[in-house]
Amino acid sequence: MTRRPEVVVIGDALLDVTARPATKLRPGADVPAEIRIGPGGQGANLAVRLARRGVEVELVCAVGDDAGGKLLRRELEGEGVGLTAVPADATGTVVILLDERGERTMLSHRVPFAAGAAAAMPDAVAWMVLSGYLLLEPGGSDLAAALGAQPSHRVLVGCTVPDGMTDRWLGAAAMLHPDLLVLNRDEAFALVPGARDLDEVAEVLVARLGTGIIVTDPSGATARLNGLGGSVRVMAGAPAIDTTGAGDAFAATLLAIVLRDQWPPSSGALGAALTAASDAASAVANAVGAQARVEGEPRATVRS
């Protein structure tokens, strides 16, 4: 018998095609490269990392019946992630070009599914995690409003918001009434153009959304949550190999820790969660693949 999930994640499951060119790209040239194909997508990355930490999780996403969709279904099942699939004509794909520093250029073919996600949601659960990409879609505001009316804790994970869509994204985010917003430094400053520092960014976003906020960067993370402030710094290590999925690993690790305790967390619990989440993100950035298993990560528990 399938148990009720502790967390429902609403976000993409995508096929990642990762290419690391051996030399600089040259128009018209045949450039040698290391190429890998594997599972990805912000929603799936979050769900898999949660499942590996023993959390009962259900993923709501769009998956087709094509070869990519079959691969993703198989991977999610093997990780113990429950799947609620919104029908799609094709499975989304992202081509990720890595440079010598592990920085990414992404060519994305996402399959919009915000309009069908609300109807596909399982019964009310304690925690919901929404990928910020869905707020950019037609129907994103309606989905946010529907989820915001649920008696659940809600986490919004940030994304790159295109120029000209900031107000729309923030308006939809406000309808969600998130308990926590997790985003990286670049995403944060893009939402508050002209901000001088992260303190100003946090002040503006907390006032507009009424949410706690955590901002990550390569050196650690900073939090503003329910009157608490905190930060953590990670030791400088080897240069990143592939930053794909590192932010998702941060958010999943943090959530897996705090959902086992009271909400909002105490100062000590928040600090411990920030440290563990930053360590997880650093480990993932030094592995290839958004869902690469890293040292010390628990094995998934397959559902029965």
Over residues 160-200, the pLDDT tens digits come to: 999 999 999 999 999 999 999 999 999 999 999 999 988 89
Statement: residue 229 has pLDDT above 80: no
CA gap 96, 241 in Å, rounded: 13
Average model confidence (pLDDT) for the chain?
A: 90
Alpha-carbon distance 128 to 178, whole Å?
A: 9
Averaged over 260-264, what is the pLDDT? 87
Q: State the pLDDT at residue 227.
A: 75
Q: How large is the average pLDDT for residues 192-213? A: 91
Task: Tell me what the mean pLDDT of segment 222-242 comes to.
Answer: 72
For residues 102-126, give the mean pLDDT: 88
Query: Concatenated DSSP letters for 14-68?
Result: EEEEEEEESS---TT----EEEEEEEE-HHHHHHHHHHHTT--EEEEEEE-SSHH
Domains of the chain: 7-22+36-285 (3.40.1190.20)
Residue 243: the pLDDT is 83
pLDDT over 70 (residue 298): no
- Sequence-ordered strand ranges (E) for 88-210: 93-98, 104-109, 127-131, 153-157, 180-184
Q: In this model, does residue 302 exceed pLDDT 50?
A: no
The CA–CA distances, whole Å, from 281 to 85, 181, 207, 223, 262 equal 27, 17, 28, 16, 24
The pTM for the full model equals 0.91
